[in-house]
A = this chain, B = another copy of it.
Amino acid sequence: MATHAKNFRLIHSLGDQHIGLEARAQADDHLDTKVWLRLLACSTQIEQQVRQMLRTRFATSLPRFDYLAQLDRHPDGLRMNVLSRYLMVTGGNVTGLTDQLVKEGLVERIEDPEDRRSWRVALTDKGRTEFAVMAAEHERWLIDLFKGLPAASKDALYEHLGHLRVHLVQRQAELDAGAQEMHMTQSKRGK
């Protein structure tokens, strides 16, 4: 059957040198590099599928979905500042997304009485309702995507990605601290 033949060719190709972004990882690459490329390949592939589904099913995008998801966790709203850190994007980007979502009536900007520079963004009722629908379906997509992967693999991935996450946050903090240190010594040099 055609289906089977195609599957076979694709699966078999995993034994070869070419599997997308990972192609550049070969025997001569360091393990760290190989882990990173494999991580990136998995992430990109899932991302593409989720993006596609959000577009076709809800005429929306992953960044918008992530934005709403963060606000959904914070019924009192978030300062744009904080939101940009959670989303791991720059402030300018959050400004743009906020403009869109406000225009669509899913989100509102609320003045912060304590700091007049600052805005707080929060879901509107409409935003909360629409997000709930999308989130439910989003979860079904993922369950379907992972269906057939052994539970042990999922557990192991969850576990070890957790370690990696902690490690990365630590490294980031070390870097930030180093930059901070450098900045301070530079400031005091004039004394």
Contact surface of A with B, Cβ cutoff 8 Å = 2-3, 6-7, 10-11, 14, 17-24, 26, 29-36, 38-49, 66, 69-70, 72-73, 85-88, 138-139, 142-143, 145-146, 148-150, 153-158, 160-174, 176-177, 180-181
Contact = CB atoms under 8 A, between A and B. Distances in A.
A183 to B, nearest CB: 11
A169 B163 CA distance: 26
- Counted per complex, copies of this chain come to 2
B180 A38 contact: no
A48 B145 CA distance: 26
B153 A163 contact: yes
A7 B67 CA distance: 27
A163 B48 CA distance: 19
Contacts of A173: 6-7, 10-11
A45 B176 CA distance: 14
A26 to B, nearest CB: 8
Given A11-B173, A142-B30, A168-B145, A158 B3 contact: no
A10 to B, nearest CB: 4
B180 A142 contact: no
A184 to B, nearest CB: 8
